[in-house]
């Protein structure tokens, strides 16, 4: 049998800012077709992990392989949704301009985007229901709409591995549902998705696998194995009451199930 | 690229606002020639000095304008300012080294100093806790002070007096040599090439650097290209505008363009255009004023563009905003008067075709004089006519009769329909109490468009009566009331169902 390299392989990855370690010795292999939620407390290094995978932040040690290759060689196979706050929304570009940026990796240096690129971008806008806004300046959109523009841009990248940094942050309920559907759809089509998520209570419902992160990789695996009071406690350290509530909820669920009651 | 959404009238306005302003500056100047002759001399490009000044201004406008577009969009204005001041010691040292105003020596010196300045900024930021803005300020003032010191030393040396080094402080386009102009031309062409070749790379790097890196754009390289190019543009423009004000040529034209467009391509184009126009007007003004320093004139011209755009810009301009708001208020007042007329007619079961001003005043709860004024406004706008001539009858009394024209009648029906549909929507769908909906509808009725009305009709299943039991006017009502409508399709507006 031919060995197919996994979409993402991280080996002993260490990253620090100003000599303070943010990620420490992270080892993980993500299999093809996974829908992974990355959760952990603030400052756990979730965004840093994504940025290091993308080559935006340089690690102090360890390595990352995308489909068995260094990032530079797999550029067109990775789609990226950065945090919405990371850009200036007053920037003079239209919705279409932004989505077309998703095609830049395919177009090559100093080349113009083609008709085909425009068509793909337009289809991706359609998929997130933003087609009517394609000529709008991006500042004249709601938070949810802005997030959908970023998603359309990632879709336009036509990648196999998607990395998303907090796509659910500050979006309306309708957009949230739309994003979940989109993630499911991408997974159905065999894509691998790694999504940083801030809300533990919805994480169980949105993702198939969890990556629990707090400087160290606490756990990675199927939802049932990782969404346990024990591991959540270990990740969040029980510092925040709301999180201990959710941990309690997870504990409650297992008790109920043992008693044969239906799920919450 | 999309056609910029700027009315030609506006552009003309900007261009013609200027000569007058510039002429004004020459009052009190001693010139041998009449200003019209001077203008002719300037425009005919007969003098080599004038030719150089004009060409130099154009080149400078293009390169500074284009780079300025990126500087403003990327929020690097303070950086541009620092860079432009940091080059001064380089200019002075280049001069000291060549002992003449040698363009190449000065170019090399200034470029090295400018780049050194940016390196120092990055270094301070990286190794200390001093933030970027302070680091920029530090380098700006430090380098500038060094430059001024060396300049003072030069001026005290024997070759210093006739050197023309002082031109670098405030700019003198007329002092440009052919070599200077060639250098400026080369930079302008290089800038144009850079912008066309790296259009998409510069766009994505400027907008979202992380994403740019993730799609394999050589972000560091683009930043380097931008930095070096910017330094070249600043250094070659020094003689025309001067060290003190060169950063204005980077910021002002681009900021003006930023007020007028929402697209990067258009912004770059307009910015270059404003840069060129400002440069030309500046050198023209300086020429009229017997070669006064060019820098202040150029910056004055560019700043005036900004002021015009600030007030008259079609989209974000203050005056345009004010006009739009005034129109809105006028529209609402028209619509309220017509609605009142409709309601008066409705109260009389549409047995009459006209209303008295007195009835209108009672309905609107205003004085007769006020109602009379509103009625006159409606007549002026073509929504109504006064019955009877000036001579017969009580033209100025409360018994004067007003009749809506077909256009006025149509609009009145639309407004009443909007109002009542909205009330019905609020009570039926949003579960408001019937006595809570009127005030909301008073505002909403003026802003509902055809699309929303159609949608309301659909979800309310083409209702006939509002929550208070009043009939929601429809197609038949319009025809009954107007009677004289010749073209029902247009008279009905969006009342007709497909």
The answer as to whether A250 is a domain residue is: no
**Residue-by-residue DSSP string for B173-204:** GGG--HHHHHHHHHHHHHHHHHHHHTHHHHHH
Cβ separation of B214 and A55 shorter than 8 Å? yes
Q: In what order do the strands lie in the sheet with A61-66?
A: A20-30, A8-17, A61-66
Sign of CA dihedral B216, B221, B225, B227: positive
> Residue A252 has which token pair?
């409650």
**pLDDT of res. A159:** 93
Task: Decide if pLDDT at B119 tops 90.
Answer: yes
**pLDDT of res. A149:** 95
What is the three-class DSSP state of A113? Answer: coil
Candidate from B136-140, B307-311, B469-473 with smallest mean pLDDT:
B469-473
Q: Is A97 on the interface with B (CB under 8 A)?
A: yes
Q: What is the dihedral of CA A19, A20, A26, A31, to 10 degrees?
A: -100
Q: Which residues of chain A neighbour B207 with C-beta distances below 8 Å? A: 87-88, 91, 93, 98, 101
Residue with more model confidence, B451 or B480 = B451
Query: Per residue in B229-284, pLDDT tens?
Result: 999 999 999 888 888 889 999 999 999 999 999 999 999 999 999 999 999 999 88
Closest alpha carbon to B109 in B79, B151, B164, B76? B151
For chain B, percent of residues with pLDDT exceeding 70:
85
The answer as to whether A111 is a domain residue is: yes
Task: Decide if pLDDT at A115 tops 60.
Answer: yes
Q: Which residues, other chains included, contact B104 with Cβ-Cβ below 8 Å and sequence gap of 6+?
A: B179
Task: Give the pLDDT band (50/70/90) at residue A249.
Answer: low
Task: Decide if pLDDT at A260 tops 80.
Answer: no
What is the three-class DSSP state of B339? Answer: helix
Cβ separation of A104 and B199 shorter than 8 Å? no
The interface residues of chain A toward chain B in range 13-52, judged by CB-CB distance below 8 A, are 51
Mean pLDDT value of segment A123-127: 93
Q: Which residues of chain B neighbour A165 with C-beta distances below 8 Å? A: none
Domain ranges in chain B with CATH number 1.10.60.10:
414-491
**pLDDT of res. B202:** 94
The answer as to whether A254 is a domain residue is: no
Facing A104 at nearest CB: one of B73, B217, B262: B217
> Residue A231 has which token pair?
């591991």
Query: Per residue in A46-100, pLDDT tens?
Result: 999 999 998 888 899 999 999 999 888 888 899 999 999 899 999 999 999 999 9
> Residue B25 has which token pair?
């500056």
Q: Which residues of chain A neighbour B451 with C-beta distances below 8 Å? A: none
Domain ranges in chain B with CATH number 1.10.10:
321-404
What is the three-class DSSP state of A152? Answer: helix
Facing A56 at nearest CB: one of B197, B210, B267: B210
The answer as to whether A17 is a domain residue is: yes
- Of B257-266, B287-296, B350-359, B386-395, the range with the highest mean pLDDT is B257-266
**pLDDT of res. B487:** 38
Query: Per residue in A57-66, pLDDT tens?
Result: 889 999 999 9
Q: What is the dihedral of CA A185, A187, A192, A196, to 10 degrees?
A: 70
- Roughly what angle, to the nearest 10 degrees, separates helices B450-459 and B406-428? 50
Q: Which residues, other chains included, contact B70 with Cβ-Cβ below 8 Å and sequence gap of 6+?
A: B76, B202, B206, B226, B230
Which residues are bridge partners to B153 per DSSP?
A: none
pTM: 0.78
How many domains are contained in chain A?
1
Q: What is the Cα–Cα distance from B319 to B332, expressed in whole angstroms?
A: 20
Measured in whole angstroms, the distance separating CA B320 from the mean position of its chain's CA atoms is 10
**pLDDT of res. A257:** 41
Sign of CA dihedral A156, A162, A163, A168: positive
Task: Give the pLDDT band (50/70/90) at residue B494.
Answer: very low
Facing B213 at nearest CB: one of A54, A91, A98: A54
**Residue-by-residue DSSP string for B70-90:** HHHHTT-HHHHHHHHHHTHHH
Strands A20-30 and A8-17: antiparallel
* Cβ-count burial B112-147 (b if 16+ within 10 Å, e if not): bbbbbbbebbeebbeeeeeeeeebbeebbeebbebb
Task: Decide if pLDDT at A239 tops 60.
Answer: no
Cβ separation of A110 and B201 shorter than 8 Å? yes
Task: Decide if pLDDT at A248 tops 60.
Answer: no
Q: Is A112 on the interface with B (CB under 8 A)?
A: yes
Distance from CA of A207 to the nearest CA of B (A): 24
- Interface A–B counts its CB contacts (< 8 A) at 86
Domain covering B8-316 assigned CATH 3.40.50.720 in the classification: no
Closest alpha carbon to B473 in B428, B419, B416? B416
The answer as to whether A72 is a domain residue is: yes
Cβ separation of A80 and B210 shorter than 8 Å? yes
Task: Give the pLDDT band (50/70/90) at residue A242.
Answer: low
**pLDDT of res. B497:** 36
User: For the domain bounded by B321-404, which CATH number is listed?
Assistant: 1.10.10
The answer as to whether A262 is a domain residue is: no
- DSSP character for B400? -
Cβ separation of B211 and A105 shorter than 8 Å? no
> Residue B380 has which token pair?
């002026």
| Residue range(s) defining the domain that contains residue A47 | 8-227
Mean pLDDT value of segment A10-26: 86
Task: Give the pLDDT band (50/70/90) at residue B446.
Answer: confident
Residue B100 class from Cβ within 10 Å (0-12 exposed, 13-18 middle, 19+ buried)?
A: exposed
Nearest CA in chain A to B198: A110
Task: Give the pLDDT band (50/70/90) at residue A38.
Answer: very high
Q: Is A57 on the interface with B (CB under 8 A)?
A: no
User: What's the count of helices (H) and strands (E) in chain B, helices before strands?
Assistant: 23, 3
Task: Give the pLDDT band (50/70/90) at residue B99.
Answer: confident
**pLDDT of res. B396:** 60
The answer as to whether A243 is a domain residue is: no
Task: Decide if pLDDT at B21 tops 50.
Answer: no
> Residue B87 has which token pair?
């080059």
Q: Give the mean pLDDT of chain A.
A: 86
Mean pLDDT value of segment B352-364: 85
Residue with more model confidence, B69 or B30 = B69
Task: Decide if pLDDT at A182 tops 50.
Answer: yes
Q: Give the mean pLDDT of chain B.
A: 82
Cβ separation of B215 and A102 shorter than 8 Å? yes
Per 3-state DSSP, chain A is made up of helix, strand and coil in percentages (nearest 5) of: 45, 25, 30
Q: What is the Cα–Cα distance from A234 to A253, expressed in whole angstroms?
A: 18
Residue with more model confidence, B120 or A242 = B120
Task: Decide if pLDDT at B393 tops 60.
Answer: no
Residue with more model confidence, A118 or A261 = A118
A30 backbone dihedrals φ, ψ, rounded to 5°: -105, 125
Task: Decide if pLDDT at A243 tops 70.
Answer: no
Cβ separation of B215 and A104 shorter than 8 Å? yes
What is the three-class DSSP state of A69? Answer: strand
Closest alpha carbon to B237 in B249, B225, B226? B249
Name the CATH architecture for the domain at B414-491: Orthogonal Bundle (1.10)
The CATH number given to whatever domain includes residue A35 is: 3.40.50.300
Strands B401-404 and A78-81: unpaired
């Amino acid at each position: 049998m031919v060995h197919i390299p996994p979409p993402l392989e991280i080996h002993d990855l260490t990253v620090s800012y100003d000599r303070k370690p943010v990620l420490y010795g992270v080892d993980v292999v993500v299999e093809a077709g996974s829908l992974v939620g990355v959760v952990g407390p603030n400052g756990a290094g979730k965004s840093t992990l994504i940025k290091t995978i993308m080559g935006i932040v340089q690690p102090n040690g360890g390595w990352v392989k995308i489909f068995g290759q260094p990032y530079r060689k797999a550029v067109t196979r990775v789609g990226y949704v950065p945090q919405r706050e990371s850009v200036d929304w007053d920037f003079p570009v239209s919705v279409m301009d932004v989505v077309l940026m998703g095609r830049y990796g395919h177009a090559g240096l100093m080349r113009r985007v083609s008709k085909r690129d425009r068509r793909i971008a337009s289809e991706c806008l359609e998929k997130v229901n933003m087609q009517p806004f394609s000529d709008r300046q991006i500042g004249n959109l709601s938070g949810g709409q802005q997030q959908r523009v970023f998603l359309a841009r990632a879709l336009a990248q036509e990648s196999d591995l998607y990395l998303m940094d907090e796509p659910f942050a500050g979006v309306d309920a309708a957009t949230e549902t739309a994003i979940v559907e989109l993630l499911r759809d991408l997974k159905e089509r065999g894509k691998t998705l790694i999504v940083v998520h801030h809300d533990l209570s919805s994480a169980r419902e949105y993702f198939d696998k969890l990556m629990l992160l707090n400087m160290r990789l606490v756990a990675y695996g199927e939802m049932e194995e990782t969404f346990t009071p024990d591991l959540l406690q270990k990740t969040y350290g029980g510092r925040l009451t709301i999180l201990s509530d959710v941990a309690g909820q997870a504990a409650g669920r297992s008790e109920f199930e043992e008693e044969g009651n239906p799920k919450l | 690229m999309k056609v910029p959404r700027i009315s030609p009238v506006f552009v003309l306005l900007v261009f013609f606002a200027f000569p007058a302003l510039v002429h004004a500056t020459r009052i009190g100047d001693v010139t041998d020639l009449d200003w019209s002759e001077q203008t002719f001399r300037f425009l005919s490009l007969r003098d080599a000095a004038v030719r150089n000044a004009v060409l130099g201004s154009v080149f400078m406008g293009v390169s500074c304008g284009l780079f300025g577009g990126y500087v403003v969009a990327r929020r690097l204005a303070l950086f541009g300012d620092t860079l432009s001041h940091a080059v001064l010691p380089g200019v002075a040292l280049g001069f000291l080294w060549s002992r003449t105003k040698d363009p190449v020596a000065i170019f090399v010196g200034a470029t090295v100093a400018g780049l050194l300045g940016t390196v120092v900024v990055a270094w301070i930021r990286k190794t200390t806790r001093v933030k970027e803005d302070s680091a920029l300020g530090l380098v700006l003032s430090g380098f500038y002070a060094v430059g001024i010191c060396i300049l003072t030393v030069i001026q005290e040396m024997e070759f210093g007096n006739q050197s023309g080094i002082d031109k670098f402080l405030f700019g003198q386009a007329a002092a440009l040599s052919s070599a200077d102009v060639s250098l400026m031309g080369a930079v302008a062409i290089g800038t144009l090439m850079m912008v066309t070749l790296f259009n998409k790379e510069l766009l994505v790097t400027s907008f979202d650097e992380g994403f740019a890196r993730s799609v394999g754009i050589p972000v560091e390289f683009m930043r380097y290209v931008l930095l070096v190019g910017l330094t070249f543009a600043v250094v070659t423009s020094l003689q025309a505008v001067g060290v003190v004000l060169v950063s204005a040529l980077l910021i002002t034209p681009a900021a003006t363009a930023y007020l007028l467009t929402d697209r990067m391509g258009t912004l770059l184009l307009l910015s270059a255009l404003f840069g060129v126009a400002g440069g030309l007007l500046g050198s023209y003004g300086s020429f009229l004023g017997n070669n006064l320093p060019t820098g202040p004139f150029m910056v004055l011209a560019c700043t005036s563009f900004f002021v015009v755009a600030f007030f008259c810009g079609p989209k974000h301009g203050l005056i345009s905003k004010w006009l739009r708001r005034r129109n809105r208020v006028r529209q609402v007042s028209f619509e309220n008067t017509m609605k009142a007329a409709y309601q008066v007619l409705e109260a009389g079961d549409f047995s009459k075709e006209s209303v008295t001003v007195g009835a209108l005043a009672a309905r609107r709860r205003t004085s007769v004089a006020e109602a009379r004024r509103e009625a006159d406004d409606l007549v002026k706008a073509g929504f109504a006519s006064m019955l009877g001539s000036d001579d017969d009858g009580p033209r100025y009394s409360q018994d004067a009769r007003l009749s809506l024209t077909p256009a006025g009648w149509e609009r009145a029906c639309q407004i009443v329909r909007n109002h009542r549909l909205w009330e019905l929507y609020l009570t039926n769908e949003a579960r408001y109490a019937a006595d809570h909906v009127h005030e909301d509808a008073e505002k909403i009725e003026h802003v509902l468009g055809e699309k929303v009305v159609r949608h309301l009709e659909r979800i309310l299943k083409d209702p006939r009566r509002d929550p208070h039991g009043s009939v929601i006017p429809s197609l038949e009502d319009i025809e009954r009331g107007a009677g004289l409508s010749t073209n029902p399709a247009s008279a009905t507006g969006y009342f007709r169902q497909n």
